[in-house]
Structure 1
Amino acid sequence: MKSFETFKNVSANTQPKAADQHSSARIVVVGSANMDLVVHAERLPARGETLLGGVFATFAGGKGANQAVAAARLGASVAMLGCLGRDEFGAQLRSGLQHEHIDTAHLHTADDISSGIAVITVAADGANTIVVSPGANAALTPGHVDAASADIAAAGMLICQLEVPLDTVRHAISVAAKLGTPVLLNPAPAQPLPDALYEQISVLVLNETEAALLADVPVDSPASARVAAARLRAKGAKTVIVTLGAEGVWYSTDDEEGHLPAPRVDAIDTTAAGDTFVGGFAAERVRGASIRDAIDFGQRAAALSVTRQGAQASIPTHAEVRTQAASAAALR
């Protein structure tokens, strides 16, 4: 199993390293890329209700692409494994990832299906609802994973979510486990997972809804998150991190557990906050940080993201997070 040894910091503006350099700094993300169609409203609509909305905008999104961009901006060398449609949204999404210096050699194009989209409503208090149409994301296959096995073998971490087919995610995790590459799974959108999968997961990052489903216990506080984390670790996950929004994070490992409060900010849009946390945590972790320090970094990055609108557009850079942390320390 690869270790998370300290390595030279890699700027988000550095070109991706070749797979044969076998760098623990490199992250491979297997997941979705969507175009987000966002409308703002005073509040979220009730069931069956029609609301008059405000500003409409499109943003590059998708949990996989969001996490890839976050990891890249926050200091890691990143490769993206996914599938786009041969349409204008697909071209824009690919160009956006390449602009972040993310390796798109394994970002495939499907000829007969549109790129994925997400329809998002954002309320005045920053809360949101999201409906995803997977499109080409559903065309990502285990064969695509096999074609990227050399990159997975060379990576310091593999990141997966559940916006691409579960069979493909399971295969990617199995390949990484056999190659000795640590796996971070963000099981979103929430769905039941095979019990055998947990033993192959190095880090399980999930929110209250996902933790409640997978651990079969209500989760709405650090105390209940502790119960859920214990149940998920008993299934085999080595480290469990439950994100609780404004209530912070509960984490549990073989050696320690604890609650880290969230930085206090005025949120205007929580879209991609969880993805920013995942990317920031992963980038810091493969850089050699402890679990606790990586969580703290991820939280600070996520806190900055919710003060901005959009998905990828809201994700801060490594320098911005460090500057914010230094400013907060100076005020103490």
Structure 2
Amino acid sequence: MSTRKTPSSRTPRQRRFDPLARLRTPGDPRWDVYLTGTVFLDIIFTGLDSAPVRGTESWARGMGSSPGGIANMATALARLGLHTSLAAAFGDDMYGDYCHDALEHGEGIDLSLSHTVPGWHSPVTVSMAYEGERTMISHGHEAPAKEAAAGYDPEAPECPPAARACVSSLVPGRPQEWIATAARRGSLIFADVGWDETGRWDLKALAELGDCEAFLPNAVEAMRYTGADCPRSAAHVLSEYVPLAVVTMGPEGAYAVDGRTGETADVPAIAVEALDTTGAGDVFVAGFVTGSLAGWPLADRLAFAGLTASLSVQEFGGSLSAPSWAEIAEWWHRARAARPAGTDSPYAFLDTLLTGCDPAPPPRRAVPTLGFRSG
């Protein structure tokens, strides 16, 4: 295990609003959320008028760098005030130093279960945003195997740690033993899923689905896995497999079904001009996890998740685009002032929630370079 180098400069973190403050007791787990995965260095180009054309040079009007991959979810959770523990491998290079420092010192994410791999370079993703979509190119190698007692080995007694919740992305045919361990220890499991490269789209291949509290696929994934002809029907089918089925529908919003009570929620999306959609799904999940742990009604959780995702796509990058509570409060202040008198809003619950939210400066955003020398 290598020694992490001290960065030349750090941005001091601000005290964050705690959405779980009224629920906390001395006997609670130290962590609200635990997650594990791969951290990438993301390099994002925006302001492209069209897709790059072979044999030509394209100039982007904007560029940003930020930690990516699992860092997107971890940062979104931490910025929403949840005590977050991340287990990941970091490259023994400048990219790894930057990502480690940005997450630990910039965002306050606990990395005590993470480790640095000597001689292993950080995975990198280049993302190009244009026409409301993005195209990505990634390069990296799987981190070398670790000894049994360290890091995110599910057999290690300290890992996964006790936490209110865990977040994971399910992979067809690739069981993750730590999820069952975490569920057995009392953690609520929130999971999304990626594209099924096998093309089978078999729910039985998602071995951990039975351990999940909530499953949050997008509309295409949900319909392929269930054979349903619309996202809402797919959500009802999924609610037979998992207590909470949440299907995101892009510009149409999101739909959720509580399989235990039969309750449903249908919240439209907020119309925004997207600068970069990288990480929006991760921010949505983080918002839903926050509302779930805070015990909010299903419709409020869904509205809040959609709001946080909508705010994120108006900024560069995946992790550092995640909104803070101060930005959420600012948005609600403007939206409430613009709302016609006597009309209801699915975000009215924010009035009470934000009473204890102190003003704070905006969080760090992605910048074109990894950092300037101090002095």
Task: Normalising by structure 1, report the TM-score.
Answer: 0.81
Indicate whether 1:239 and 2:244 are aligned. Answer: yes
For 1:137 and 1:101, how far apart are their aligned partners in 2? 24
Cα pair 1:26 1:78 within 8 Å, conserved: yes
Give the corresponding residue for 1:158. Answer: 166
Counterpart secondary structure, 2:90: strand
Deviation at 1:184, TM superposition (A): 0.6
User: What CA deviation, in whole Å up to 9, does each residue of 1:22-77 have, x standing for no partner?
Assistant: 3386111222211112233212358x786624246342233311111001101211
Cα pair 1:83 1:139 within 8 Å, conserved: no
Cα pair 2:162 2:182 within 8 Å, conserved: no
Aligned residues: 308
Cα pair 1:64 1:161 within 8 Å, conserved: no
Give the corresponding residue for 1:249. Answer: 254
What is the CA RMSD across the aligned residues, in angstroms?
3.0
Give the corresponding residue for 2:337. Answer: 330
Deviation at 1:122, TM superposition (A): 0.6
Cα pair 1:82 1:106 within 8 Å, conserved: yes
Indicate whether 1:91 and 2:97 are aligned. Answer: yes
Deviation at 1:330, TM superposition (A): 2.6
Change (3 A) 1:35 1:172: same
Change (3 A) 1:24 1:113: closer
For 1:33 and 1:171, how far apart are their aligned partners in 2? 20
Give the corresponding residue for 1:265. Answer: 272
For 1:257 and 1:122, how far apart are their aligned partners in 2? 34
Structure 1 unaligned segments of length 5 or more: list them. 1-9, 15-19, 219-223
Cα pair 1:276 1:315 within 8 Å, conserved: yes
User: What CA deviation, in whole Å up to 9, does each residue of 1:66-91 have, x standing for no partner?
Assistant: 11100110121111111121111111
For 1:51 and 1:212, how far apart are their aligned partners in 2? 39
Question: Which has a greater percent of helix?
Answer: 1
Query: Among 98, 104, 113, which residue is 1:106 paired with?
Result: 113
Indicate whether 1:67 and 2:78 are aligned. Answer: no
Cα pair 1:28 1:151 within 8 Å, conserved: no
Cα pair 1:33 1:137 within 8 Å, conserved: no
User: What CA deviation, in whole Å up to 9, does each residue of 1:267-290 have, x standing for no partner?
Assistant: 221111111111122123212223
Change (3 A) 1:245 1:117: same
Counterpart secondary structure, 1:119: strand
Task: Normalising by structure 2, report the TM-score.
Answer: 0.73
Larger radius of gyration: 2
Query: Among 29, 34, 40, which residue is 2:35 paired with?
Result: 29
Change (3 A) 1:172 1:12: farther
Tell me which amino acid in the other structure corresponds to 1:128.
R
User: What CA deviation, in whole Å up to 9, does each residue of 1:91-144 have, x standing for no partner?
Assistant: 111101111110001122222432121121110x33112233353468689972
Query: Among 285, 295, 298, which residue is 2:302 paired with?
Result: 295
Change (3 A) 1:45 1:258: farther
Give the corresponding residue for 2:44. Answer: 38
Change (3 A) 1:148 1:327: farther
Cα pair 1:85 1:135 within 8 Å, conserved: no
For 2:142 and 2:17, how far apart are their aligned partners in 1? 28
Give the corresponding residue for 1:206. Answer: 217
For 2:145 and 2:170, how far apart are their aligned partners in 1? 13
